[in-house]
A and B are shown apart, each in its own frame.
Chain A
């Protein structure tokens, strides 16, 4: 597969992005629906969000992705106005938010627990925001009906939340937020409580809904597959910091550090020292073997680094090939998992995963090596990435 990677500029830490946004704030549409400039949030001893800067573009489906406890919810709550940054500033549509309370911000939230009002019917829940804005009754009724149709629950208007399934409650929460036509919709792991199958369906539906309404979505998730499949861009969080912001393709193909490479998808790491850097490529020496891969940012000759190769981008061959990155290995195990076959080999004393998509030819019982057999591992330098420690 040939990948057309246009630019990696967006993949860099966003200090660059926040530098030239002084044009915002006047009338007219700001470039960013939401912007965080050097935002930090400290709870007692814990630095929940650590100097985060990012710009979320108008109409974008933007994901905040990271393991639990990395500061995603706190970031979202600062945008919504439930928390105030310890330092830094949140901008919505170019305007600094300062201490603007949540009820004066043009954003709506879909809570992880849905937070539907238990003493109100679905209809009353969905109409609550419009009622607060003083929209006339007749218009409220019309828009509530539309919103319930949008989430495909028109017949549930008179029910109470407790009379509905989790998936249905989730849609009501979505309708309750969308009916207000906010500038930005904030979603905190909205699919987290759903079972796997419903979750997949809702991912597709939510994405389609976002295209339909054209509202900027900021979507928090710890599920990298969910983030990759739904988002226009992703911010990868770790320990309160944003490590990388980019399109799913950039994040997957061109992670800017070891954490991102490891967190997004599966990968093999080979650790060693940088031996040589030559333009776009670099050479890593590990355990007496030399590997060639694309050079990541901030590599220095002689420094410790890791080479990352995705399991689907490495192959096994019977004979040594006269090319870079070809080394003898011993097959450790072979597992058929339906869509592909997963082979684990030993490169020296290290495990190395190789996945091959199953096809007609792989069905031949002799196609794969058996455990204990000798083989040669090979991968192309373009498919490997050498990342500074």
Chain B
């Protein structure tokens, strides 16, 4: 009877585990189909990436055969000055555009949340519209814009463009954070003698900080990964990493490219995980 049923502790609740069904239990056809579909989905999503990562460690220069483990592509990657330049450009653009979009996006979110003015819904919509503008349209329009005002393509145009496409994401994240923000905390600070600036510094900012950091990580990731917009607005000497990679690919995919891509992938994953962890930490407050 129930006495031979194992008791499993999940959290602090004891639950009776389902009785193991032995080898004779048949898989129902519906369930089988679903399992297969799920496996295909995961394979479809991750096999190409896994292959790319594997080949970045493959000592064969060409071809799809495994010829043993090597780190030489990573070494070569690090000793390629043009690649290092592109990586440096990427980091500079990502850092400065993140700073810009976080400051602008946060201030816009505070303004839209705190003040009421005419046609507010329209302004609000315009602020996050770039999220749905096709990136190629965005890239071409920025290119035309810079050309028309006579701004030379280079790091400046890259930074401005990256602020333009990442700011709406910061804005949306901060709007959500501010909607949950308890205004009576600011009133309490003022009630206790803090002026507006002190209230912002001691109460508003510290409480918004996790949201600011997670939107900064998001903006940084978006900037680092961007290809389409950057392709249009980058100058000859100011290629970012994705643009440089694209240039190299035209001469065929090399294991070196696989190595760079693997590094970028890992960097992006780390940033996203950090951002998610921060979101969770704040919502558990």
Using a CB–CB cutoff of 8 Å, the interface residues on chain A facing chain B are 80-82, 101-103, 107-109, 111, 113, 115-119, 128-129, 132-133, 162, 176-177, 180
Q: In the bound complex, do residue B193 and residue A80 qualify as a contact, i.e. CB atoms below 8 Å apart? A: no
Q: In the bound complex, do residue A132 and residue B193 qualify as a contact, i.e. CB atoms below 8 Å apart? A: yes
Q: List 6 contacting pairs A-B, 8 Å CB cutoff, sorted by A.
A: A82-B187, A102-B187, A103-B192, A107-B191, A176-B192, A180-B193
Q: In the bound complex, do residue A180 and residue B185 qualify as a contact, i.e. CB atoms below 8 Å apart? A: no
CB of B182 within 8 Å of the partner chain? yes
Considering only CB atoms, which chain B residue lies closest to A105 in the complex?
B191
Q: In the bound complex, do residue A129 and residue B185 qualify as a contact, i.e. CB atoms below 8 Å apart? A: no
CB of B15 within 8 Å of the partner chain? no
Question: What's the Cα separation between A129 and B194 when bound, in Å?
Answer: 8
Considering only CB atoms, which chain A residue lies closest to B183 in the complex?
A115
Q: In the bound complex, do residue A109 and residue B194 qualify as a contact, i.e. CB atoms below 8 Å apart? A: no
- Residues of A near B195 (CB, < 8 A) are 101, 103
| Choice from A103, A118, A129 contacting B285 with Cβ under 8 Å | A118
Q: In the bound complex, do residue B207 and residue A180 qualify as a contact, i.e. CB atoms below 8 Å apart? A: no
Chain B: residues with Cβ within 8 Å of the partner, total of 18
Q: In the bound complex, do residue A117 and residue B198 qualify as a contact, i.e. CB atoms below 8 Å apart? A: no
CB of B203 within 8 Å of the partner chain? yes
Q: In the bound complex, do residue B193 and residue A117 qualify as a contact, i.e. CB atoms below 8 Å apart? A: no
State the Cβ distance, B67 to closest chain A Cβ, in Å: 56
Which 7 interchain pairs have the tightest Cβ spacing?
A132-B193, A129-B192, A115-B188, A115-B184, A102-B190, A109-B191, A103-B190
CB of B237 within 8 Å of the partner chain? no
- Residues of B near A133 (CB, < 8 A) are 193
Given contacts A117-B203, A119-B206, A162-B285, contact A132 B194 (CB under 8 A): yes
- Residues of B near A117 (CB, < 8 A) are 185, 188-189, 203
State the Cβ distance, B244 to closest chain A Cβ, in Å: 43
Q: In the bound complex, do residue A102 and residue B191 qualify as a contact, i.e. CB atoms below 8 Å apart? A: yes
| Choice from A108, A116, A118, A119 contacting B191 with Cβ under 8 Å | A108
- Residues of A near B191 (CB, < 8 A) are 80, 102-103, 107-109, 177
- Residues of B near A113 (CB, < 8 A) are 182, 184
Q: In the bound complex, do residue A115 and residue B193 qualify as a contact, i.e. CB atoms below 8 Å apart? A: no
Q: In the bound complex, do residue A109 and residue B193 qualify as a contact, i.e. CB atoms below 8 Å apart? A: no
Q: In the bound complex, do residue A108 and residue B207 qualify as a contact, i.e. CB atoms below 8 Å apart? A: no
Using a CB–CB cutoff of 8 Å, the interface residues on chain B facing chain A are 182, 184-185, 187-195, 198, 202-203, 206-207, 285
Identify which of A111, A116, A180 gathers the most chain B CB atoms within 10 Å of its CB.
A111
Q: In the bound complex, do residue B184 and residue A132 qualify as a contact, i.e. CB atoms below 8 Å apart? A: no
Q: In the bound complex, do residue B182 and residue A129 qualify as a contact, i.e. CB atoms below 8 Å apart? A: no
- Residues of A near B285 (CB, < 8 A) are 118, 162
Considering only CB atoms, which chain A residue lies closest to B187 in the complex?
A82
- Residues of A near B187 (CB, < 8 A) are 80, 82, 102, 109, 111, 115
| Choice from A103, A111, A129, A177 contacting B184 with Cβ under 8 Å | A111
| Choice from B182, B192, B206 contacting A128 with Cβ under 8 Å | B192
| Choice from A101, A116, A176, A180 contacting B190 with Cβ under 8 Å | A101
- Residues of B near A111 (CB, < 8 A) are 184, 187-188
Question: What's the Cα separation between A270 and B202 when bound, in Å?
Answer: 59
- Residues of B near A82 (CB, < 8 A) are 187, 190
| Choice from A101, A162, A180 contacting B192 with Cβ under 8 Å | A180
- 20 extra A-B contacts, CB within 8 A, seeds A81-B190, A129-B193: A82-B190, A101-B190, A101-B195, A103-B191, A103-B193, A103-B195, A108-B192, A109-B188, A109-B191, A111-B187, A111-B188, A113-B182, A115-B187, A115-B188, A118-B185, A119-B206, A128-B194, A132-B192, A132-B194, A177-B192
Question: What's the Cα separation between A116 and B188 when bound, in Å?
Answer: 8
Question: What's the Cα separation between A165 and B187 when bound, in Å?
Answer: 22
Question: What's the Cα separation between A177 and B182 when bound, in Å?
Answer: 19
- Residues of B near A103 (CB, < 8 A) are 190-195
- Residues of B near A109 (CB, < 8 A) are 187-188, 191
Q: In the bound complex, do residue A128 and residue B189 qualify as a contact, i.e. CB atoms below 8 Å apart? A: yes
- Residues of A near B185 (CB, < 8 A) are 115, 117-118
- Residues of B near A107 (CB, < 8 A) are 191
- Residues of A near B188 (CB, < 8 A) are 109, 111, 115-117
- Residues of A near B194 (CB, < 8 A) are 103, 128, 132
Q: In the bound complex, do residue B189 and residue A118 qualify as a contact, i.e. CB atoms below 8 Å apart? A: no
Given contacts A101-B190, A103-B193, A111-B188, contact A132 B207 (CB under 8 A): no
Question: What's the Cα separation between A115 and B194 when bound, in Å?
Answer: 15
Q: In the bound complex, do residue A132 and residue B198 qualify as a contact, i.e. CB atoms below 8 Å apart? A: yes
Q: In the bound complex, do residue A115 and residue B192 qualify as a contact, i.e. CB atoms below 8 Å apart? A: no
Identify which of B182, B187, B192, B195 gathers the most chain A CB atoms within 10 Å of its CB.
B192
State the Cβ distance, B183 to closest chain A Cβ, in Å: 9
